[in-house]
Amino acid sequence: MAYYKDLRDYLTLLESSGNLVHFQEELSTRFEIPAATKYIARQSRKTVIFDHVQHYDIPVVGNLFASRRHLAIALGVREDQLEQEISSRVDNPIQPILVDNAPVQEVVIRENIDIQKTIPVLTHHEKDAGPYFTSAVAIARDPETGIRGMGVHRIQIKGRDKIGILLASPPLSNFLNKAEKSGKSLEIAIALGVDPLTFLGAVFFAPEGIDKFDIAGGLRQAPVELVKGCSTDLEVPANAEFVLEGHLVPGQREVEGPFGETTGYYLTFDSPIGRITSITHRSRPLYYGLVPFIGEEEVIFQAISRPHLLKTFRESLPDVSIKDLNIVLTGAICVVQIRKKRDDDALRIIDLLLSTPQAKMAVVVDEDVDIFDQHEVNWAMVTRMRPDKDVIIKPGQPGLSIDPSVEELTLNKDGRSVGKTAKLGIDATKPLKESARYEKIGVPAEVQQKILRLMEVIK
């Protein structure tokens, strides 16, 4: 069972374990806090609380998912148990429960709404169109079935009560499409500052029709507490720091962006418009803002994607011995470790990987290569790849909308915004008939084990 109830309990846990720092100098929400968060992420990989925020009496939290160590603390396990534990818990979902009283509704604002005056929303990059929610859990219901869905979507603050939201993935993109076909608005709630495992549940891969609050409950090993909304028929996380409620306007699109995305580029879209009808928050709230392109999203994506992709690939290619998978740049580069049995094993994996929207480059290596050591991956590519035989370029493959090189963007049947792009595959495995030539240098196994034991003591 989760041994912390909410975000602030988790922050206390991080601080007691030496994984959190406080920043005391006053900084602005416009560029300064994001820049400081990036610096701290690069220097120490610690979570940071900015205690003094210019024009606000609300602390800002940054770098919440600073490293795999932070996720391990959230789950209460060792780092090497992360993916196994996540898979196990996701396979044992727990339904949310409804409560009557909620900390997030200690303060209720229904009149004179002004998002930016109420919440210290960050403006992250020099050419961003304005302040953005980057860690907002958006919640809605399927207008046909009533099934609840949620996800994390970038949200631009466009006015006192006006937002623009990029809906490039299901289930919310499908919910809005169904509502618009009936000429109706879609009710939406935006939760800010949920506990880390509820946040992880919101970004987890799930088939449509699955309530991600059930997944979050499984991850927490305790049900997520929900409370009825103040101005919508939606239920919202009772222990969040802020909740905004409102609706998306049917058929209305406006320019949203530019915004500096996780890929490191400014991107602009025509996105749906929303109107906020209430803001609720704790009496002394915190605000968590995820700064794109500093590695935090990489930690999240790696943890939730590896178990899912490994299972999918092993089911799709049961006769290929897939040992492990490393995901770099939120899935754009996938490095797969195999025990090679047939000369075409690597090519089959490359074909499968590059058919997915996330992967743009696939590298396949042998089991003697440490896929989490970039030096070893580079070594395998340089010494085992034959460019005239082992490099595959596949044009016209599906790519994600946040990749600026992708063209012809459309919504696919799953409600995801995808386009077309060329992709690269590299077979960096040993030719089976010549494997003796490629034997990797090393020390005896018993020596390696002894040294590892000694290093653990030193650590």
Q: Which sequence spans correspond to the domains of the chain?
A: 7-294, 317-439
Model confidence at 236: pLDDT above 80: yes
Q: Is the pLDDT of residue 1 over 70?
A: no
At 9, the pLDDT band (50, 70, 90 cuts) reads: very high
Burial class (CB in 10 A: 0-12, 13-18, 19+), 24: exposed
- In whole angstroms, what is the distance from residue 113 CA to residue 132 CA? 17
Please state, in angstroms and rounded to a whole number, the distance separating the CA atoms of residues 89 and 218.
5
User: In this structure, what token pair is assigned to residue 238?
Assistant: 């009772």
CA nearest to 171, candidates 142, 137, 128: 142
Phi-psi region of 300 (alpha: psi -120 to 50; beta: other; left: phi over 0): alpha
Q: Which residues of 256-288 are buried (b: 16+ CB within 10 A; e: fewer)?
A: bbbbbbbbeebbebebbbbbbbbbbbbeebbbb
- What is residue 174's predicted lDDT score, i.e. its pLDDT? 93
- Do 227 and 213 form a contact (C-beta atoms < 8 A)? no
User: Are 383 and 365 in contact, with CB atoms under 8 Å apart?
Assistant: no
Q: For position 458, what pLDDT does the model report?
A: 67
pLDDT in tens, 167-183: 988 999 999 999 999 99
b/e map 349-386, b = 16+ CB within 10 Å: bbebbbebbbbbbbbbbbeebbbeeeebbebbbeebbe
The pLDDT value given to residue 36: 96
Question: For the chain, what is the total number of helices (H) and then of strands (E)?
Answer: 13, 22
Q: Please, where are the H alpha helices in 82-220?
A: 82-90, 115-118, 172-181, 196-203, 212-220
Distance CA 66, CA 297 (A): 9
- Could you check whether 7-294 and 317-439 share the same CATH topology? no
Model confidence at 31: pLDDT above 80: yes
**Distance (Å, whole) CA 19 – CA 34:** 19
Domain 317-439 -> CATH class? alpha beta
What CA–CA distance (Å, rounded) separates 322 from 312?
11
Q: How far apart are CA 129 and CA 430, in angstroms?
A: 49
pTM for this model (two decimals): 0.88
How many Cβ atoms are within 10 Å of 80's Cβ, its own excluded? 10
**What CATH homologous superfamily does 7-294 map to?**
Electron Transport, Fmn-binding Protein; Chain A (2.30.110.10)
Q: Quick one: what percent of the chain has pLDDT higher than 90? A: 79
Helices (H), 326-373: 345-354
pLDDT range class, residue 91, cuts 50, 70, 90: very high
**What's the whole-number mean pLDDT along residues 251-276?**
95
* Residue where the block lists tokens 């302040």: 131
What pLDDT, on a 0 to 100 scale, did the predictor assign at position 248? Answer: 98
Mean pLDDT of 138-153: 96
CB 358 within 8 A of CB 306: no
